[in-house]
A and B are shown apart, each in its own frame.
Chain A
Amino acid sequence: MDSLALLLAATFNSGTILALAALGLLINERAGVINLGAEGTMLVAAMAGFATANVTGSDVLAFGAGAAVGAVMACALGFLVIWLNANQVAAGLALSLFGTGFSAFVGINFAQAKLPERPHFAVPYLSDIPFVGPALFKQHPMVYLAVLLTIGTAWFLYRSRSGLVLRAIGESPESAHALGYPVRRVRLAAMMVGGALCGLAGAYLSVIYTPLWVEGMVAGKGWIALALTTFATWRPARVLLGAYLFGFVTMLQFHLQGMGVQIPSQFLSMTPYLATILVLLLISRNANFIRVNRPASLGQPFYPGS
């Protein structure tokens, strides 16, 4: 039982990185813009977060720096794809490649740096409950923040007026424009929020999860987060579940190996991705399911006045 509790704890910790990034991407995709620059954004933010934590010693400032850097990068991409109507796929990929190289270049001096040890977090009283305590209540506050952010995003999208406007813009920017909503500005805002969340995920990775900076350390998590939004059919709660599922399968393969389960480790390394593809397949079987939830204008340029 103890090892199951620890496995669950590791799952939530690992899933949080994906959940934060995927939630951000969900918000900007709901507004009709796809940000393929997530991987590069996370890397630059991870670098910025680590550097800030290293210099100032403050985790809060580090998260702030990560989020700010993420928002700025999304803003740059937003200018290209929203105002200049550049191709979203090409521009996003370019941003990702740029971020990979840029973070490596700027981070040279931090490659050997280290962070001071931080105190362990535990929720008072609750963390003493057997099984549930070690599984759920000995996490970094960011893990709980990801859950709160998911609830907040769901409330915003489905219960608030501005969420309705955002979704309307994602469905039909022309209609929203005709009704007098500032399509471009709302899209840019959505992108910046999305970028900030990707940045937060990157900073969490380099400051808390693996407290070091090495180039390329995001190692594909940005792409997985992008896949997760589709996987979750653009629903916040499903994004969180999907992130935990992916985190669970990732951690499970290591635990199975440690327990001496006789499965080739190469196969186990593949399982998280296999699980993603399987779930994607199951969801795609119902075409309506995707179509109903998919923002209709996703990835398409919008020309006001045309």
Chain B
Amino acid sequence: MTRKRERLPTSATPDLDRWFAAQGRTPFPFQRTAWAAYADGASGLIHAPTGTGKTLAALLGPMQEALHEAMEEARENPPSKTVSPVHGSAESEPPRLLWLTPLRALARDTVGAISAAAAALNLPWSVELRTGDVSSSVKARQRKRLPTVLVTTPESLCLLLSHADTAARFASLRAVVVDEWHELLGSKRGVQVELGLARLRHLAAGLRTWGLSATIGNLEQALAVLVPGGGRLIAAGTTKKITVSVALPPPERVLPLAGHLGLAQLPQVLTAVDGARTTLLFTNMRSQAEMWFSAIHGARPDWPMALHHGALERALRDAAEDGARTGTLKLVVCTSSLDLGVDFAPVDLVIQIGSPKGIARLAQRAGRSGHQPNGVARLVGVPTHALELLEFVAARRALAAGRIEARTPLRAPLDVLTQHVVTLALGGGFVADELLAEVRSTFAYRDLTEQEWCWCLDFVVSGGPTLTRYPRFQRVQVVDGRHVVTVPEIARLHRLAIGTIVSDQAVSVRLVRGGNLGTVEESFITRLLPQQVFRFAGRALELVRFHDGVAEVRVSKRPANSTPQWMGGTYPLSSFLADEVLALFGELHAGREPDPDLRAIAAMVRAQRERSHLPRPGVLLAERITLGGRSTGDGGHLLCLYPFAGRLAHEGLGALLSWRLTRYQPLSVSVMVNDYGLTLAAPTPLLLDASALRALLSPTGLVDDLLASMNAGELARRRFREVARIAGLLIPDLPGKGRGARQVQASANLFFDVFRAHDPGHLLLAQAEREVLERELEVTRLRTALERLDGWTIDLVDSPRLTPLSFPLWTEFIQSQFSSEPWDARVRRMQAEVLA
């Protein structure tokens, strides 16, 4: 059901035009299109680069509607008093607009922007923030009286939906805006938003949904996920100009064939930063950010600079963000923690150290610069090895041609559904059949089977499918045909556990004289002894003591000799970018020069062509390399393949190949992978010709063989913690939450073992297994790769020496071996031989 809405005549919006005119601007055509679509009663998705006016495109539709309604109202009942903006008082309008943002840091600025617009347009709207940072007294007030515009996160929305009286107050909502939708799409948080939107559509008839997104490859699908009923896709006509250049080493130096820090390029980086006002320098890993920070700080101690990554204390991150916003900092060294966020007007240069990983990611990072009027986003890529130069060149070319990756939405994660079902049982209860229809109205659960739905209800009502195994279970009860939660203790524990972000166990790092610096992984700290010096938060810190989950440190004058590593770091190269790199190789193979920057790796290309062949589309390059033990001390036989399918898919492929290979030839092989290919290393020759290799690469029986080869049951343990946490089996250990939460602490491992022994058919175990296959081994990508390889010819080359492409794989292999010669010395010597 939709409310009757008239298309507004343009004369009804003098206020909007006046407001724009007062700022010396005119609305962009895409903004007018979005307002008109909103007035039509439509939903949709607006995509544009950051800083091009998406916020106003989504915001002013609802505001224009309110102005129009106020005018109609005034015509019918002439006002007795003047209307003035009221914030949070009893006279402000009931909730009209909900603004969802994935990032708390964005929320505060969004509140400011909406308040300013409401004040300028004389709307009596209250605009408020609700995130985990807001005080509990404000939250309690908001539950009783929602503001006209509520700016919040997906988690806070779920918490509101868990209160029956608050949920009912959403009935007056006209619209929901989901900011940064591309960031949510493809994650469990995105699925949580889909379910939340379905509920809001149920509560508020005629609700319109608008999404804001950066450019991604599957915008039509992004729209279909956000608005399953269909909506408009609106593109900003203007595209912000992005320039990508590559920092090349001086002619007398060659780019190494492998490596990951890239500190050899420090002089070029210093020069680039020198010529800019404020620079954001992105790395791919936190440890790399720590090392680059200390290297630059060592070279330019007078530069005001800051470090920003996810393990640092919020106050330190806030200070870095403030410095970037106000321009007091020359440089911020950061990781993906600054991929999103408020625009930093002074930033006029972005530097990317190491692989760009993907085209969308590079565009996103580049877009953090150039927010000055008519500004250009400027990015300098710093390859740490030769193949990364190809990645930057390939990404630049794809970006110029408008080719960009897709974000694949998730299908039916049962842990998220379980959590949502309990949330709704808590927020006033539901009738099972009605909720099933609502859940199936979402994209993620459109094909949810009857069996999955019943399992989900059984899980929350009786603990599991068999009553006898779960006696005395209570979470959700069925009272008069409605599923409800009646036990206050269960309600409290559930609200504590709402959300889909599962953080790792971490140790706080605190200065002895007071002040938290952030967190590191426990495994790192337990390996350190007191008085050892490590690098963290951009300083050299001496460990004083470690107890009760807190590492006490003091700033040291001695140099640091270790840097913490954080898990979950390696983000694979996108298959899209891998294909672009392969296409570049294809052109080099054909003797063309696709880009003058590639002259910097001419020696590498020539050596690859002479020792072996260049890879190219339509051909699987396979290299059989025999390493003589005499010259190197590393005798052995390598089989290197280059499917260009990304690190994770190669890991799966490596496990599959070595498992299948042992059925041909009994031997022990080690597997090493990178984003381009993989190598199987064995002490004896691998008796494989092209046809045997073809058989090993068959896509038939992929999943069965993969499961058999990897002990997937054990691998599932890795994903189970997240699944169990979201499904509500693990209560997060939050400080100050009282005894109740502590009494039900149990580890995910314990649940995993107990389920495997006592309820092996548990669907959450199956989900964890599915997630291992999908997310950790990228089985879909692997299958696509194998199917593609099926149609390719195999180019099997024998080489007596390492080739430039096999060299980085070999270094990975050597890193895991023992040798008396220092690793880096050996790698330097081998590299000289490869390029000789």
Q: Do A and B bind each other?
A: no
Write the residues of chain A forming the contact surface with B, with a CB cutoff of 8 angstroms: none
Write the residues of chain B forming the contact surface with A, with a CB cutoff of 8 angstroms: none
